Amino acid sequence: MSESLPTKLVGGVNSDVSIIVPARNEETSLGECLRSLVSQMGVKHEIIVVDDGSSDRTREIAESFAGVKVMAAPPLLPGWTGKNNAVAAGAAVARGEWLLFTDADTIHLPESLARAVAEAKDERADLLSYSPEQVVITPVERTVMPVVFAELAAQYPPEKVRDRNSGIVAANGQYILVRRAAYEATGGHAAVAREILEDVALAKAFRRAGFQVNFRYGADAVRTRMYRNWAQLRDGWTKNLALLFPRARGRAFLLLVWWVLAWLTLPVPVAAIALFVRMRRANFSLVATLRATALGPPVFAYLLLRSRSQHAKGAVWWKGRTYSQPFGSGSDGWAPRPENRQLRTEN
């Protein structure tokens, strides 16, 4: 495999970017992701794929792309989650002035990398994160995903995230572009090594250090299909929802009450219209928004309560690893159970 990396440069943008892609059993999506990355123009960039113990064709697919550097994640030590371990390893060998952390299930629009760097520079952002356009195919994706992202938009309004004094800060780990100097000053992913919700934790670290954090809906730059079936969707949101919404039971209850009122008062559909407007903030199609408004809140409430229950039990499973830490114990994060570090075959 060649170690030479893509160095395309047009349009006068002269900042180097290292793109770091953690990948664990991502044979379904990695190829399309890398095709969209190797074709980026407008900024010099290198691509580093960190194979996090995959048992499928992930590494083979990555190595089939000329110029992409493929490396193995180091052994997972106590005190680290798998993704943090992988991206930190990639950052350690990266050479760019900017670092883009992006997931293997993302697809990047042409020249979006150059535009993102220009945006970060123009707005003096040390961390720029996009919430990708969400591709939904199956009925369960169309039912649940708009509700989740509508609630996220309510919890973390982008305009509030940009405001240093708002007390609200967030990022989406599917696309985080950081100024390398700021990343190193905060301690990078090593500083949030134990965190399952590493994207929000990293944004908080940047904010605490006085750096500017920008966050917005980024359909003009990147899209993703997060989950392809109910099992993936259930386990993925079980891992994250209780951390994203600390008052899980209250939020689930209020949303369920709102949903019931919307159905009961359809002849005078004030509640239904208000719920639809809330769902519309998630930037999904009209059909998906209507479906989510009609059917999604009970499923979201179930997932939210399931997430809180699993966190309360101190065991969250994801991609073959079980992370253990009592929810609300005051500890600084989660740690992988040593007996569960082996790779488990994913369905």
DSSP code, position 73:
P
pLDDT tens-digit map of 220-252? 999 999 999 999 999 999 999 999 998 999 999
Average pLDDT over residues 199-207: 97
Average pLDDT over residues 311-336: 62
Q: Which residue has the tokens 């042409």?
A: 110
Q: Are 294 and 288 in contact (CB under 8 A)?
A: no
pLDDT tens-digit map of 106-151? 999 999 999 999 999 999 999 999 999 999 999 999 999 999 999 9
Closest CA to 189 of 116, 269, 85, 338: 85
pLDDT tens-digit map of 72-95? 999 998 889 999 999 999 999 999
Enter the tokens of residue 113: 């990398």
pLDDT tens-digit map of 13-65? 445 999 999 999 999 999 999 999 999 999 999 999 999 999 999 999 999 99
Say which CATH superfamily domain 17-132+172-224 falls into. Answer: Spore Coat Polysaccharide Biosynthesis Protein SpsA; Chain A (3.90.550.10)
Instruction: Please name every residue paired with 335 in a beta bridge, in sequence order, or none if there are none.
Output: 324
Indicate if the pLDDT at residue 204 is higher than 50: yes
Enter the tokens of residue 196: 């399952």
Average pLDDT over residues 303-332: 73
Domain boundaries, the chain: 17-132+172-224, 136-155+229-315
d(C-alpha 337, C-alpha 321), whole Å = 8
- CA dist 30 to 39, 49, 71, Å? 14, 10, 15
Indicate if the pLDDT at residue 340 is higher than 80: no
Indicate if the pLDDT at residue 342 is higher than 90: no
Q: Are 196 and 116 in contact (CB under 8 A)?
A: no
